[in-house]
Amino acid sequence: MNKRDQAILENLQKFYVLDRDQLIQLHLKEQKQPITTCNRIMNRLTSKGLVKVDRTTRP
């Protein structure tokens, strides 16, 4: 797991709930495709069981 993923996990532990747009503002502003990158990171963290995702709402 890279430093960015660890920083995302730390922020999720600190704030408990963050949506995709908030994660992009905190960690992925300089990416060419921040939404796609965020979705891939969250899918990876979810599949590893490190994050639980609430899919009842959509951004």
State both tokens at 22: 């908030």
What pLDDT was estimated at residue 48?
94
CA distance 45 to 43: 6
DSSP label at residue 43: H
How does pLDDT run across 7-41, given as a tens digit for each residue? 999 999 998 888 889 999 999 989 999 999 999 99
Residue ranges of domains in the chain: 3-47
State both tokens at 1: 């797991």
pLDDT at 59 over 70: no
Q: How much is the pTM? A: 0.82
